[in-house]
Amino acid sequence: MKLWIHAAAGAIALITVSAFWLSTATVEVLGDAAAITMVKACVLAGMAVLIPAMIVAGASGLSLGRGWKSPAVAAKKRRMRIIAANGLLVLMPSAFLLNSFADAGRFDTLFTIVQAIELIAGAVNITLLSLNMRDGLSLRRKPLRPAAQAG
Ligand code: HEM
Protein backbone atom coordinates (compact mmCIF):
# COMPACT_ATOMS: atom_id res chain seq x y z
CA MET A 1 0.00 0.00 0.00
CA LYS A 2 2.78 2.40 0.97
CA LEU A 3 4.62 1.59 -2.26
CA TRP A 4 1.48 2.25 -4.27
CA ILE A 5 0.91 5.62 -2.53
CA HIS A 6 4.59 6.48 -3.09
CA ALA A 7 4.49 5.72 -6.80
CA ALA A 8 1.14 7.52 -7.27
CA ALA A 9 2.30 10.66 -5.40
CA GLY A 10 5.54 10.69 -7.41
CA ALA A 11 3.63 10.35 -10.68
CA ILE A 12 1.20 13.14 -9.70
CA ALA A 13 4.15 15.42 -8.82
CA LEU A 14 5.84 14.69 -12.16
CA ILE A 15 2.64 15.17 -14.18
CA THR A 16 1.81 18.45 -12.36
CA VAL A 17 5.26 20.01 -12.85
CA SER A 18 5.27 18.91 -16.50
CA ALA A 19 1.79 20.40 -17.06
CA PHE A 20 2.91 23.70 -15.48
CA TRP A 21 6.00 23.75 -17.69
CA LEU A 22 4.22 22.89 -20.93
CA SER A 23 1.32 25.31 -20.40
CA THR A 24 3.76 28.10 -19.43
CA ALA A 25 6.00 27.54 -22.47
CA THR A 26 3.01 27.22 -24.85
CA VAL A 27 1.27 30.36 -23.63
CA GLU A 28 4.52 32.36 -23.71
CA VAL A 29 4.93 31.48 -27.40
CA LEU A 30 1.31 31.50 -28.59
CA GLY A 31 -0.78 33.32 -25.99
CA ASP A 32 -1.72 36.93 -25.32
CA ALA A 33 -1.46 38.79 -22.00
CA ALA A 34 -4.85 37.49 -20.83
CA ALA A 35 -3.88 33.88 -21.51
CA ILE A 36 -0.52 34.31 -19.76
CA THR A 37 -2.28 35.84 -16.73
CA MET A 38 -4.70 32.91 -16.62
CA VAL A 39 -1.89 30.33 -16.74
CA LYS A 40 -0.04 32.14 -13.93
CA ALA A 41 -3.16 31.93 -11.73
CA CYS A 42 -3.65 28.24 -12.61
CA VAL A 43 -0.02 27.41 -11.78
CA LEU A 44 -0.41 29.10 -8.40
CA ALA A 45 -3.66 27.22 -7.71
CA GLY A 46 -2.04 23.97 -8.88
CA MET A 47 0.51 24.28 -6.05
CA ALA A 48 -2.28 22.91 -3.84
CA VAL A 49 -1.86 19.62 -5.72
CA LEU A 50 1.89 19.72 -6.32
CA ILE A 51 3.10 20.51 -2.79
CA PRO A 52 1.20 17.68 -1.01
CA ALA A 53 2.19 15.24 -3.80
CA MET A 54 5.88 16.18 -3.36
CA ILE A 55 5.66 15.84 0.44
CA VAL A 56 3.97 12.42 0.21
CA ALA A 57 6.39 11.16 -2.49
CA GLY A 58 9.44 12.33 -0.50
CA ALA A 59 8.25 11.18 2.93
CA SER A 60 7.07 7.76 1.69
CA GLY A 61 10.30 7.42 -0.32
CA LEU A 62 12.41 8.12 2.78
CA SER A 63 10.41 5.57 4.72
CA LEU A 64 10.59 2.91 1.95
CA GLY A 65 14.29 3.64 1.50
CA ARG A 66 15.18 3.01 5.16
CA GLY A 67 17.62 0.12 5.39
CA TRP A 68 18.42 0.00 1.65
CA LYS A 69 22.12 0.12 0.82
CA SER A 70 21.47 0.58 -2.89
CA PRO A 71 23.23 3.43 -4.76
CA ALA A 72 19.96 4.03 -6.64
CA VAL A 73 18.14 4.80 -3.37
CA ALA A 74 20.98 7.11 -2.26
CA ALA A 75 20.74 8.89 -5.64
CA LYS A 76 16.94 9.23 -5.23
CA LYS A 77 17.41 10.85 -1.80
CA ARG A 78 20.06 13.22 -3.16
CA ARG A 79 17.82 14.20 -6.09
CA MET A 80 14.82 14.70 -3.81
CA ARG A 81 16.83 17.23 -1.74
CA ILE A 82 17.61 19.24 -4.89
CA ILE A 83 13.98 18.95 -6.07
CA ALA A 84 12.69 20.27 -2.72
CA ALA A 85 15.21 23.13 -2.52
CA ASN A 86 14.53 24.09 -6.13
CA GLY A 87 10.77 24.02 -5.52
CA LEU A 88 10.83 26.02 -2.30
CA LEU A 89 13.55 28.52 -3.17
CA VAL A 90 13.01 29.07 -6.90
CA LEU A 91 9.74 27.68 -8.27
CA MET A 92 7.33 28.82 -5.57
CA PRO A 93 8.69 32.38 -5.25
CA SER A 94 8.75 32.65 -9.08
CA ALA A 95 5.12 31.47 -9.34
CA PHE A 96 4.00 34.11 -6.80
CA LEU A 97 6.10 36.85 -8.40
CA LEU A 98 5.00 36.07 -11.97
CA ASN A 99 1.35 35.89 -10.92
CA SER A 100 1.51 39.33 -9.30
CA PHE A 101 3.43 40.80 -12.27
CA ALA A 102 0.84 39.39 -14.69
CA ASP A 103 -2.05 40.68 -12.54
CA ALA A 104 -0.47 44.13 -12.70
CA GLY A 105 -0.01 43.84 -16.50
CA ARG A 106 3.75 44.05 -15.99
CA PHE A 107 5.34 42.05 -18.82
CA ASP A 108 8.74 43.78 -18.75
CA THR A 109 12.37 42.60 -18.72
CA LEU A 110 12.18 41.49 -15.08
CA PHE A 111 9.11 39.37 -15.91
CA THR A 112 11.07 37.73 -18.76
CA ILE A 113 14.10 37.06 -16.54
CA VAL A 114 12.00 35.50 -13.73
CA GLN A 115 10.06 33.51 -16.35
CA ALA A 116 13.29 32.16 -17.86
CA ILE A 117 14.60 31.20 -14.39
CA GLU A 118 11.30 29.45 -13.61
CA LEU A 119 11.40 27.46 -16.87
CA ILE A 120 15.01 26.37 -16.27
CA ALA A 121 14.33 25.36 -12.64
CA GLY A 122 11.16 23.57 -13.77
CA ALA A 123 13.09 21.63 -16.42
CA VAL A 124 15.65 20.61 -13.77
CA ASN A 125 12.89 19.28 -11.50
CA ILE A 126 11.17 17.43 -14.38
CA THR A 127 14.49 15.74 -15.19
CA LEU A 128 15.21 14.80 -11.55
CA LEU A 129 11.65 13.54 -10.95
CA SER A 130 11.85 11.45 -14.13
CA LEU A 131 15.16 9.94 -12.98
CA ASN A 132 13.60 9.12 -9.59
CA MET A 133 10.70 7.44 -11.33
CA ARG A 134 13.06 5.45 -13.58
CA ASP A 135 15.14 4.32 -10.59
CA GLY A 136 11.96 3.52 -8.63
CA LEU A 137 10.75 1.25 -11.41
CA SER A 138 14.14 -0.49 -11.55
CA LEU A 139 14.04 -1.02 -7.75
CA ARG A 140 10.65 -2.69 -8.08
CA ARG A 141 10.95 -6.21 -6.78
CA LYS A 142 11.34 -8.51 -9.78
CA PRO A 143 9.02 -11.53 -9.98
CA LEU A 144 10.85 -14.76 -9.17
CA ARG A 145 12.02 -16.56 -12.28
CA PRO A 146 10.64 -20.07 -12.62
CA ALA A 147 13.26 -22.62 -11.57
CA ALA A 148 15.23 -24.11 -14.47
CA GLN A 149 13.67 -27.35 -15.54
CA ALA A 150 15.64 -30.49 -14.80
CA GLY A 151 16.71 -32.74 -17.64
C1 HEM B 1 13.40 10.72 -1.11
C2 HEM B 1 13.14 10.31 -2.35
C3 HEM B 1 12.82 8.89 -2.71
C4 HEM B 1 13.31 7.72 -2.16
C5 HEM B 1 14.33 7.55 -1.04
C6 HEM B 1 12.66 6.63 -2.86
C7 HEM B 1 12.86 5.29 -2.59
C8 HEM B 1 12.20 4.24 -3.21
C9 HEM B 1 12.38 2.83 -2.90
C10 HEM B 1 13.33 2.27 -1.82
C11 HEM B 1 11.58 2.12 -3.72
C12 HEM B 1 11.44 0.58 -3.80
C13 HEM B 1 10.56 0.11 -2.69
C14 HEM B 1 10.32 -1.40 -2.70
O15 HEM B 1 10.36 -2.04 -3.78
O16 HEM B 1 10.04 -1.91 -1.62
C17 HEM B 1 10.89 3.07 -4.59
C18 HEM B 1 10.00 2.73 -5.57
C19 HEM B 1 9.47 3.61 -6.48
N20 HEM B 1 9.66 4.99 -6.50
FE21 HEM B 1 10.70 6.08 -5.16
N22 HEM B 1 11.82 7.17 -3.82
C23 HEM B 1 11.90 8.53 -3.76
C24 HEM B 1 11.23 9.44 -4.57
C25 HEM B 1 10.50 9.10 -5.70
C26 HEM B 1 9.90 10.01 -6.63
C27 HEM B 1 9.97 11.53 -6.52
C28 HEM B 1 9.26 9.26 -7.60
C29 HEM B 1 8.54 9.69 -8.84
C30 HEM B 1 8.65 10.83 -9.44
C31 HEM B 1 9.45 7.87 -7.26
C32 HEM B 1 8.94 6.81 -7.99
C33 HEM B 1 8.99 5.48 -7.61
C34 HEM B 1 8.36 4.38 -8.33
C35 HEM B 1 7.53 4.48 -9.62
C36 HEM B 1 8.64 3.21 -7.62
C37 HEM B 1 8.23 1.77 -7.99
C38 HEM B 1 6.86 1.49 -7.42
C39 HEM B 1 6.40 0.07 -7.69
O40 HEM B 1 7.18 -0.88 -7.59
O41 HEM B 1 5.21 -0.09 -7.98
N42 HEM B 1 10.20 7.82 -6.11
N43 HEM B 1 11.28 4.35 -4.25
pLDDT in tens, 83-137: 999 999 999 999 999 999 999 999 999 999 999 999 999 999 999 999 999 999 9
pLDDT at residue 71 greater than cutoff 80: yes
Q: How far is the CA of 132 from the centre of ligand 1 (A)?
A: 7
Mean pLDDT, range 28-47, rounded to an integer? 96
Looking at residue 91, its pLDDT comes to 97
The correct CATH number of 2-139 out of 1.10.1740, 3.10.450, 1.20.120, 3.90.660 is 1.20.120
Q: Which of 2, 3, 5, 6 to mutate to test the pocket of ligand 1 (most atoms within 8 A of CB)?
A: 6
- The three state secondary structure string of the chain is CHHHHHHHHHHHHHHHHHHHHHHHHHHHHHCCHHHHHHHHHHHHHHHHHHHHHHHHHHHHHHHHHCCCCCHHHHHHHHHHHHHHHHHHHHHHHHHHHHHHHHHCCCCCHHHHHHHHHHHHHHHHHHHHHHHHHHHHHHHCCCCCCCCCCCC
- Give the distance (Å) from ligand 1 centre to CA of residue 53: 13
Map out the domains of the chain as residue ranges. 2-139
Protein residues with CB under 6 Å of any ligand 1 atom: 3, 6-7, 10, 13-14, 57-58, 61-62, 64-65, 68, 73, 76-77, 80, 129, 132-133, 136-137, 139-141
Q: Report the predicted TM-score, pTM, of the whole model to 2 decimal places.
A: 0.91
What is the reported pLDDT for 44? 96
Note the pLDDT of residue 144: 59
Is 20's pLDDT higher than 70?
yes
